[in-house]
Amino acid sequence: MGHRIGRIGFILGDIVFILLSLALALIIRFDFSFSRTLPYWNIILGRLPVLIIIRLWIYYIFGFYNRLWQFASVREALIIALAGSLASSIDYLILHTLHPAGFPRSIIFMAWSLNIFFAGGIRLFLRMRREWAHFAEANKQIVQADLEQAASLDDVHRVLIVGAGEAGVIVARELRAHPEVGQTVVGFIDDDPSKQGYIVAGYRVLGTTLDLSELVRSNNVEEIIIAMPSAPGTVIRQIVRACDGLGVKVLTLPGVYELLDGKVDVSRIREIGIQDLLRREEIRVDLEEIGLYLSGKKVLVTGAGGSIGQELSRQIADFNPGKLILLGHGENDIYEININLQVAFPDLNIIPVIADIRNDERIDWIFSLYKPDVVFHAAAHKHVPLMELNPEEAICNNIFGTWNVACSAKQYGTERFVFISTDKAVNPMGVMGCSKRGAEILIQALAKNSRTKFMAVRFGNVLGSRGSVIPLFKQQIKKGGPVTVTHPDMVRYFMTIPEAVQLIIQAAAMGKGGEIFILDMGKPVKIVDLAQDLIKLSGFEPDIDIEIVFTGIRPGEKIFEELLTAEEGAAATMHERIYVAKGEPLIDDNIQEFLNMCRRFAEDDHEGGRAFVNWIRKITTSKGTDKDMPQSMGKMGGTF
């Protein structure tokens, strides 16, 4: 009802403004001589109903009466000008062209400008009133706060915004509209020479990132907000480095792909995360068309409670599958992702299943019941040191568990099967990597004589996943250190969880069967550099406030990780950052012999793990020595 009354009020107001604009235009045109305006008044009055109806109709077409003008922007101002110009052009045709004696064009022009002024002014006034009311209310809340809160207002943080673009302007306006957050903007810095010295959103552009240190000191800056949501990690890293030793807190906006609803407000400003410092641009895949193969299909995700499995399930849910089957061994994890997806996708048919992939009878029953069209196999044991101590678990879960799921997929007519592998499967040194390589071998062997499209996806370490190095570093920093790094030269390939999941979904669309897909993750990153970055982001100095301790390489680990063996090589695909290994399947008709050997190693509690590693390395690499690994990696590095 309130909206209707407001709409009627706008219509009545516009009628008054139309009359007022014409009257003022006539009076101004004839120097306030009312007698000289009378002939033209007679002309206008005769056509006034038509003029009003046409103008109101144009206003309606341009959406004047279905907008919330308190949220108006420059776009709305342009719409007001365009609608007013079109209506005035029709006024001219009616009053000048159709009147034999002619009608003064100056009156039409003045009426045009007055109409835009009145119609736009009252609407933009609502926007100004909203901002003023918001500001006044915030100040009122501050005044009425208790003594403790009032005392905290003395500690207002002076903020410098990096980036005088659209995001920076929005941040400045939001901070000005929300004084209760205790942040006051001192100005912008931007590397664009054309912006230097100019005022943006009421604040001056004070300099470039080269002036950062001087500006922080001269303006007593306490916080820096990086308002460049589309900037690559290299730029963010450069700014963070420039802030070293300045004693300022560095905040940022989410990445441009995180801002899905297009809204930026103070609640989205957060501390710099390690994902912001990824030493390359994040890889993005256009999933709109690619993911259509999931629409209406029965999709099974194993390991759905894990970091990759949960994100995979969320992204699959966006494509509205017919059924989404969440399979996992840990009931709490499956319960959590099931509840989250039910809230986010209330109409989606979600089926949580608790099962152990090593139980072949249980897996067979699940496939016979649901007959999934697409399977994403993410269930695995992944912790390298733990698997060195428990090799039988790695073999049974990663090899025989994968075999159980893959055989059921083949038997019950699954269209696509995607196995989630790892770069640790390349020239593997430990039990975990060898178990994943063994699973790759089985998948490629099954793909040779199957209607199911079997494929694998191989990628590196995932930032922020459970059990990964970043959460461990954060816990150690929280406790005051030390931060433990195995070796100063230890390097790894890194990717974000969304990147990993997009690659998986992309691979399932591209695969013809038998491929191992690989992501170009850029250059490997030193673990010690990540540790130093995270310590600095937490407000400490490495080896001064928080010590970094080198503990030595653990069993099963390598200093360097690789993405391809020397035998494989890589071929390009339709996606510029995704490659496919060119290696041939290593086993054909002797799958059962391969499984029997794996079973023997799993049953040998004492020497089985090391024997298994030596056996897998022997059948998968032509260079089985540690000395050859850096050479292999060097060849691989030239491929990407």
Q: Which residues are catalytic?
A: 424
Measure the CA–CA gap between 314 and 310, rounded to whole angstroms.
6
Q: Are 548 and 534 in contact (CB under 8 A)?
A: no
Taken as a whole, the chain contains a residue count of: 640
Residue indicated by tokens 């460049």: 228
Residue 549: strand pairing partners? 484
Q: Which of 424, 331, 422 is nearest to 378 (CA)?
A: 422
3-state secondary structure of 484: strand
- Three-state secondary structure of 362-424: HHHHHHHHHCCCEEEECCCCCCHHHHHHCHHHHHHHHHHHHHHHHHHHHHCCCCEEEEECCHH
Q: Would you state the structure tokens that stand for residue 365, as one six-digit string?
A: 């029953």
Measure the CA–CA gap between 483 and 490, rounded to whole angstroms.
15
In a 10 Å sphere around its CB, with 0-12 CB exposed, 13-18 middle and 19+ buried, how is residue 462 labelled? buried
Q: Would you state the structure tokens that stand for residue 272, as one six-digit string?
A: 């710099």
Q: Are 439 and 612 in contact (CB under 8 A)?
A: no
Question: What angle do helix axes 527-537 and 233-242 make, rounded to 10 degrees?
Answer: 60
Q: Are 26 and 37 in contact (CB under 8 A)?
A: yes
What's the count of helices (H) and strands (E) in the chain, helices before strands?
22, 22
Concatenating the DSSP letter of every residue in 296-313 gives T-EEEEETTTSHHHHHHH
Measure the CA–CA gap between 180 and 311, rounded to whole angstroms.
35
Residue 495: strand pairing partners? 462
Concatenating the DSSP letter of every residue in 544-558 gives TTB-EEE--PPTT--
Measure the CA–CA gap between 236 and 193, rounded to whole angstroms.
19
- Greatest C-alpha distance within the chain: 114
Beta-carbon contacts of 538 under 8 Å, excluding residues fewer than 6 positions away, are 474, 477, 546
Measure the CA–CA gap between 598 and 592, rounded to whole angstroms.
10
User: CA 427 → CA 87, 165, 390, 527, 551, distances in Å?
Assistant: 74, 47, 20, 20, 24
